[in-house]
Structure 1
Amino acid sequence: MNSANGSAWDDWDDEVDLLVFGAGAAGMTAALIAHHEGLNVLVCEKTAAVGGITSTSGGTTWVPGTQLSVDAGVPDSVDDARRFLQSVVGARGGDAAREAFLQSGPLAIDELQRISDVKFVAAAAHPDYVTGPGAAFGGRALAPLPFDARVLGKDFARVRPPRKEFMGLGGMMVNRNDLGALLSPFASVGNLKRTLEVVGRYCVDRLSYPRGTQLVMGNALAARLYYSLRKRDVPVRFDAPLVELIREQGRVTGAVAGSADGSRRRIRARLGVVLATGGLTRHPVLRKQLFPVAAQPLSLSPDTHTGDGIASALAAAARLEDGGDSPGLWMPCSIRRAPDGNDHVWPHIILDRAKPGLIAVNSRGERFVNESNSYHDFVMGMLRDAGDGQSVPAHLIVDAAFIRDYGLGLLMPGRSRARIAEFERSGYLVKGDTLEQLASKLGVDAAGLARTVQAYNRDAAAGKDPAFNRGASPMSRFNGDPAQKPNPCIRPLGDGPYYAVTVWPADLACSAGLSGTANGEVLDANGAVIPGLFACGNDLASIFRGTYPGPGTTLGPAIVFGWRIAKFVAGKLDQAPAGERSRATACANQPS
């Protein structure tokens, strides 16, 4: 909405310094830092809970060069990260924003650690997803520390739960480090002790809470940010979606927010409006315009991520970027239809694809990608061959020994024949006593599958994969089985029976988004700053231009650019990259 002289908006319902739409990692970071700098802040969240896609994510946050990497014994260098990103992103653009990310990342993490309850630990071993000069094996992937949500009291209900597939016993979160113990509780005294501790805590929780209060991964990160806001009395207004931006004489001066009762409030933002609404993954028009047809049906983002922030910015003449190499960031997912008709969607991240004895094939029965690649690059392999639908969907094929050792998708390892049969009856797991029978059930070319398995087994016997070089990168070996020699990602498929699950591409976030400066200022179609309008998180186009360098390369920039926006608006961002300071600074600091 525009007003020539502002007279239409003399009567505001609320007035703040900074108005933030969206309570995910990006929006809550911006609000937290802005409040720390003395600004009056209001967060408007579309739903009844904070967290967005952050709360259902793994929570890993990719930020190079932090003190945490030193503390973990794997000191990382910003210079190395700069060389690494240059090798990965190359000449795709966005250099100034990436440089700002590199410069500010260590400062942002250090300040969050110091002033809030947001706490991370750097992983000593969690490799970058792509090889190249400057790649790191550890230190850059920051994991949020577990969080005891009991301190939130009744406001625990305001934290969006993780995906139901990632909770055990109907509501128990499990740390990756505890997964082995819980899957094999009787393998050792230590496993049994840890299992009793985790499950016992959960049982006590359920006497008072709707789910377990020991939070890990992205749920812990979202809860830590929310708890930090609560301790500072930063207001979060729930059920308050962005309806439209208000512009006066070319500057964004506020916004109209909805409410649960259907009323609307006009909120003035003296220094700026921050868009952190989760991106365009569920926008009904932009998804069809930007996403490959083969990747449009399935999304891991919340249903409410309908592009409110981006649509409002476009109405204010903002420029949209298509995401570079890819508009989305992807995970391969299998789907199980439950008896109640609900779909259980399982992202194949680390537990099966890189393990020895699994191959992924297309409708020709042929391998098409390194199965141990990152989830994003695996799906990029699917989509490259998706023009005629050959690799969408794809099929993960294993033998019975693989099921016993590693499980497959929703089927955890070592399950009984009755459990395996249950997954077969549901249609999730497909069984064939022979490769020909399996191919027939999957609808793939039987002769092609036979040739593929024969060639794979011949090379796998020597621990080699000349077709796709599987097991060659640190990341693929990290997710393989170190007990398998000489290659932790390679072993032949044995005799039948054979099993398969079908996987589809699903977006976990978007790379496409609003064009912005290194300070998160939104740009218009001519490349000029729209004064008073900022974007971060998935509303801002990815600084990696559709590539996926390492674990947490959505959350890292989300937090860092939320931090930069708050510092910039408060006038505390001392050294922005050359050319990135704009007239918005002067406009923001003018008295109203």
Structure 2
Amino acid sequence: MVETLGNLGQNETFDVVVVGAGGAGMSAALFAAIDGARVLLVESTEFVGGTTAYSAGTTWIPASPHAAGVNRDDTSANAEGFLNRAVGGRSSNAMRRAFLDAGPKAVAHIEANSDVKYRARPFHPDYLSEVEGSTLRGRALEPLPFDGRKLGRAFALIRPPIAEFTVLGGMMVDRDDVGHLLNMTKSLASFGHAAKLLARHARDRMSAPRGTRLVMGNALIGRLLYSLLKRDVTVLVSTKVEALHKGADGIEAVTLSHVNERRRVGVKGGVILASGGFNRHPTRRGEMLPGADPDWCPGAPGHTGGAQDLALAAGARFGDGALSNAFWAPVSVRKRADGSTAVFPHFIMDRGKPGMITVDKTGRRFLNENTSYHLFGIAMQEANKTTPSVPAYLVTDSEGLRKYGLGMVRPGGKGLAPFLADGYLVEGNTLDELATKLGIDGNGLADSVARNNRYAKSGVDADFQRGATAYQNANGDANWSGPNKCLGPIGLAPFYAVRLYPGDIGAATGLVTDTHARVLNRDDQPVGGLYACGNDMQSVMGGVYPGPGITLGPGLAFGYLAARHAAARCRTTRAALTDARGEAHALPIDLTAHAHAHAK
């Protein structure tokens, strides 16, 4: 049964309304519910999860309760120094301190009061590992895998992962699973691990359209949804917020719409905006991300900036001073058989491995292939100002393709025909033939490959210092026998390439808030009852990407701060009403709500 707006009464009132059911919004809704508030979670699309559901689910929280298990030496002070050096004046010191203080508390609070559970990766370096105060482990948390069968029919509410990131028709795999699957014929332990995965997936496909073993971002969303439904949080999908209504003390109601239904819903504590940012806004995208085609964006479709427009009309303002208005990753693009567009982010699986180089229209390298995906995307756009670098071309040989794959082409070197037929993958028996098919300079490409091969022997990239940091080496091949884990020769024909584009993976510029996540107006005063977190909020990272999970980490921390402040505001309002009327009004904790199950 699919419940929508029509199930709400005409005069419903909630303590807290959260707009946007991605990781930040769902966390904020859960924190408010844990504090006893009656919560409404509103999502504009048919699924919950937002871009978090597509992601690895990594959450960057320094000094969390899990950190000591893998890195006893790290402290919040170390992390603050690291952010001060990496981000500096691009964001507020006070906001960064609020994040660092709230993050560990948020993790402890949500784990103690819900089914959301994390673990620290034993090795997951900060991306700017050359900056003093960085660490190789402890700050990156990942959600524990989750059994989607626990959700029953509500499992269909979760936004499925990017299809090209799954195997065998919808089986999710994480970085550990990938290693076992690739080594299943070489290791008994890997064979056992892979056999369990395959058997579980076979059982799933007998009754479900995809695998129910959820990992990474889907696991986080599954755990959040399960926890929200257990706490009777009302969840509305395919529902838009049309208006914010201001009263004497701030936002007092919202107007919601679904098809031909409309409801005005009262709000006592506050409205928390977590709708995903401006990335698909009809005009703001062009203003803030000039030249970035929307088809290159791998994010979920709900981040239209509509909620931010309502906040601006209520007096809010956008931040400024960020390194970039968005966070970036190189992506490759392919049309699926059903006509939809597949956008594949090249995070770590190919571009940083030995035997891979990236070149521009002249056939020349123009960046360090092992830099972070954010800096890679920025470098593409900067280089394109003088030399055509969008698209860029990720080039390898048959050995590189076999070992690491290339974008949507999986490792193994088989099943290439459909990718070659539609032009996603380009093949040449010689480098010159590959260059001709790509429309790039053949002499430049030959020279770039020759230089790369010399650097692979010496272990030193004289042009871009590839492999010079701990982070870069972590994304190389630990089993590579050469002197540099990021550099290997290109020489075994045929040769292959895919086209890369700068894809925006999230907004860095958003609504200005204070340390309680309250939205501020142009006079730096809070807009009463209005909060923002996630990508709706001006990033505390200032458009810099210092480590893995630096969108989900602040989303969790400021969702915690916003929810607790809004819930406390609601209690204060109730206390004032009690004083005025001489009556006692208990805060409702166990109220009946509408748990939604989305059935296709």
Query: TM-score, normalised to structure 2's length?
Result: 0.91
**Could you tell me which residue of structure 2 aligns to residue 493 of structure 1?**
490
Amino acid at match of 2:137: G
Q: What does residue range 214-253 of structure 1 map to in structure 2 within 5 Å?
A: 214-249=213-248, 251-253=250-252
8 Å CA contact 2:292–2:503 kept in 1: the answer is no
2:268 pairs with 1:303: no
Deviating beyond 6 angstroms after TM superposition, the runs of 4 or more aligned structure 1 residues are: 584-589
8 Å CA contact 1:24–1:53 kept in 2: the answer is yes
| 2:88 maps to which of 66, 70, 90 | 90
| 1:427 maps to which of 412, 423, 438 | 423
CA distance in 2, matches of 1:357, 1:495: 10
Query: TM-score, normalised to structure 1's length?
Result: 0.92
Percent of aligned pairs with the same residue? Answer: 43
What SS does the corresponding residue of 1:504 show, helix, strand or coil? Answer: strand
2:563 pairs with 1:560: no
**Could you tell me which residue of structure 2 aligns to residue 273 of structure 1?**
271
Cα distance, 1:529 vs. partner? Answer: 1.4
**Could you tell me which residue of structure 2 aligns to residue 465 of structure 1?**
461
Q: Work out the number of aligned pairs and report it.
A: 568
Q: What does residue range 407-446 of structure 1 map to in structure 2 within 5 Å?
A: 407-416=405-414, 419-446=415-442
Cα distance, 1:193 vs. partner? Answer: 2.3
8 Å CA contact 2:16–2:567 kept in 1: the answer is no
8 Å CA contact 2:19–2:41 kept in 1: the answer is yes
| 2:49 maps to which of 26, 48, 51 | 51
Amino acid at match of 1:532: G
**Could you tell me which residue of structure 1 aligns to residue 471 of structure 2?**
475
Cα distance, 1:312 vs. partner? Answer: 0.9
What do the CA deviations read for 1:293-338 (whole angstroms, capped 9, x no partner)? 1455421122232112111111212101246111111111112233
CA distance in 2, matches of 1:294, 1:343: 16
CA distance in 1, matches of 2:571, 2:228: 26
| 1:405 maps to which of 383, 403, 406 | 403
8 Å CA contact 1:271–1:589 kept in 2: the answer is no
CA distance in 1, matches of 2:302, 2:21: 12
Amino acid at match of 1:423: F
- Report the CA distance shift for 1:314/1:110 in structure 2 as closer, same or farther (over 3 A): same
| 2:110 maps to which of 109, 112, 120 | 112
Cα distance, 1:388 vs. partner? Answer: 4.9
8 Å CA contact 1:66–1:76 kept in 2: the answer is no
Cα distance, 1:587 vs. partner? Answer: 7.7
**Could you tell me which residue of structure 2 aligns to residue 575 of structure 1?**
none
2:154 pairs with 1:155: yes
Q: What does residue range 128-207 of structure 1 map to in structure 2 within 5 Å?
A: 128-130=126-128, 131-207=130-206
CA distance in 1, matches of 2:208, 2:227: 21
Cα distance, 1:125 vs. partner? Answer: 0.3
| 2:545 maps to which of 545, 548, 553 | 548
CA distance in 2, matches of 1:413, 1:195: 16
Cα distance, 1:344 vs. partner? Answer: 2.5
- Report the CA distance shift for 1:364/1:234 in structure 2 as closer, same or farther (over 3 A): same
What SS does the corresponding residue of 2:90 show, helix, strand or coil? Answer: coil
What SS does the corresponding residue of 1:541 show, helix, strand or coil? Answer: coil
Cα distance, 1:376 vs. partner? Answer: 0.8
- Bigger mean CA deviation after superposition, 250-259 or 154-163: 250-259
RMSD: 2.0
- Report the CA distance shift for 1:224/1:62 in structure 2 as closer, same or farther (over 3 A): same
**Could you tell me which residue of structure 1 aligns to residue 585 of structure 2?**
none
Amino acid at match of 2:225: Y
What SS does the corresponding residue of 1:87 show, helix, strand or coil? Answer: helix
- Bigger mean CA deviation after superposition, 61-70 or 307-316: 307-316
- Report the CA distance shift for 1:290/1:322 in structure 2 as closer, same or farther (over 3 A): farther
Q: What does residue range 345-364 of structure 1 map to in structure 2 within 5 Å?
A: 345-364=343-362
CA distance in 2, matches of 1:29, 1:113: 11
Amino acid at match of 2:240: P
**Could you tell me which residue of structure 1 aligns to residue 514 of structure 2?**
517
CA distance in 1, matches of 2:179, 2:507: 32
- Report the CA distance shift for 1:136/1:253 in structure 2 as closer, same or farther (over 3 A): same
What do the CA deviations read for 1:466-519 (whole angstroms, capped 9, x no partner)? 211111111111111122232100112124321111111111111011111111
Structure 1: which 5+ residue stretches go unaligned?
1-10, 573-583
- Report the CA distance shift for 1:429/1:377 in structure 2 as closer, same or farther (over 3 A): same
What do the CA deviations read for 1:565-588 (whole angstroms, capped 9, x no partner)? 11222349xxxxxxxxxxx99889
- Report the CA distance shift for 1:176/1:461 in structure 2 as closer, same or farther (over 3 A): same
- Report the CA distance shift for 1:268/1:340 in structure 2 as closer, same or farther (over 3 A): closer
CA distance in 1, matches of 2:440, 2:147: 48
8 Å CA contact 2:280–2:294 kept in 1: the answer is no
2:505 pairs with 1:508: yes
What SS does the corresponding residue of 1:91 show, helix, strand or coil? Answer: helix
Cα distance, 1:246 vs. partner? Answer: 0.5
What do the CA deviations read for 1:138-192 (whole angstroms, capped 9, x no partner)? 0000010000011111111111111111121111111210112223432333333
What SS does the corresponding residue of 2:83 show, helix, strand or coil? Answer: helix
CA distance in 1, matches of 2:115, 2:337: 41
- Report the CA distance shift for 1:571/1:342 in structure 2 as closer, same or farther (over 3 A): closer
Amino acid at match of 2:317: R
What SS does the corresponding residue of 1:465 show, helix, strand or coil? Answer: coil
CA distance in 1, matches of 2:505, 2:400: 27
2:367 pairs with 1:376: no
**Could you tell me which residue of structure 2 aligns to residue 24 of structure 1?**
22
Amino acid at match of 2:566: V
CA distance in 2, matches of 1:216, 1:315: 39
Cα distance, 1:345 vs. partner? Answer: 2.1
2:310 pairs with 1:315: no
- Bigger mean CA deviation after superposition, 518-527 or 386-395: 386-395
8 Å CA contact 2:242–2:256 kept in 1: the answer is yes
- Report the CA distance shift for 1:128/1:306 in structure 2 as closer, same or farther (over 3 A): same
- Report the CA distance shift for 1:198/1:549 in structure 2 as closer, same or farther (over 3 A): same
What SS does the corresponding residue of 2:458 show, helix, strand or coil? Answer: coil
8 Å CA contact 1:323–1:541 kept in 2: the answer is no
CA distance in 1, matches of 2:207, 2:486: 44
CA distance in 2, matches of 1:50, 1:63: 23
What SS does the corresponding residue of 2:56 show, helix, strand or coil? Answer: coil
- Bigger mean CA deviation after superposition, 110-119 or 444-453: 444-453
- Bigger mean CA deviation after superposition, 35-44 or 363-372: 35-44
What SS does the corresponding residue of 1:570 show, helix, strand or coil? Answer: helix
What SS does the corresponding residue of 2:17 show, helix, strand or coil? Answer: strand
**Could you tell me which residue of structure 2 aligns to residue 5 of structure 1?**
none
Amino acid at match of 2:231: R
What do the CA deviations read for 1:205-243 (whole angstroms, capped 9, x no partner)? 122222111000000001101111111111112222111
Cα distance, 1:542 vs. partner? Answer: 0.7
- Bigger mean CA deviation after superposition, 333-342 or 131-140: 333-342
Higher RCO, 1 or 2 (CA under 8 Å, sep at least 6)? 2
Cα distance, 1:289 vs. partner? Answer: 0.8
What SS does the corresponding residue of 2:29 show, helix, strand or coil? Answer: helix
Cα distance, 1:370 vs. partner? Answer: 0.8
Cα distance, 1:250 vs. partner? Answer: 6.8
Cα distance, 1:292 vs. partner? Answer: 2.7
| 1:455 maps to which of 451, 456, 467 | 451
Cα distance, 1:74 vs. partner? Answer: 4.8
**Could you tell me which residue of structure 1 aligns to residue 394 of structure 2?**
396
8 Å CA contact 1:335–1:345 kept in 2: the answer is yes
Cα distance, 1:72 vs. partner? Answer: 3.2
Amino acid at match of 2:284: L
